[in-house]
Amino acid sequence: MAVSEALRQELLSAIPNLRAFAVSLCGNGERADDLVQETLMKAWAKFHTFQEGTNLRAWLFTILRNEFYSQVRKKGREVEDAEGAYAAKLASQPAQNGHMDLRDFNEALSQLPDDQREALVLVGASGFSYEEASEICDCAVGTIKSRVSRARTRLAELLALEEGETYGSDPMATTVITRSFS
């Protein structure tokens, strides 16, 4: 199938948004760039399966999300540390409360069910609207709202937060958590 110029331009215009979503998922700019590149390669190879007239952006975000989870499953919990840089960071003195808060937050976030964590990252951390997140996740808007609400409530429970209490010095964690009580 030949790709129309309009579709090609729409694909190119989606790249910055794909990168932002990738960064929000993996937290690393270089890894996000690799994820976006892999997404674009897969999309280009499977463009013949895309139905023109449907939402290209949602299709691309779905490919990116699926690729991210595939990579996570493949890597498991391995950490490559050939030169010992990661181990050296672990040996530093625990003087930074923010670091500990972030670790606790990430641990609590990892305990959420995949669908809740994904919805929370899209809406709470990446700034997507509920409607956009529902397109990306291929579910109803109400389902996304419910997942976000349950995720925020569960995070507050895991972090032992009381109503109105703030969490950590990390602005992203604060934004994601504090909306749970609003």
Q: Which CATH architecture has domain 1-82?
A: Orthogonal Bundle (1.10)
Q: Which of 6, 142, 132 is nearest to 57 (CA)?
A: 132
- Provide the residue ranges of all domains of the chain, joining segments of one domain with +: 1-82, 96-163+173-181
Q: What is the pTM of this model?
A: 0.46
Between the alpha carbon of residue 12 and those of residues 9, 64, 134, 168, the distances in Å are: 5, 15, 22, 37
Task: Summarize pLDDT for 167-180 with one digit per residue, the tens.
Answer: 655 555 555 555 54
pLDDT of 42-75, one tens digit each? 998 888 888 888 888 999 999 999 999 988 888 7
DSSP 94: -
Domain boundaries 96-163+173-181, CATH class? mainly alpha
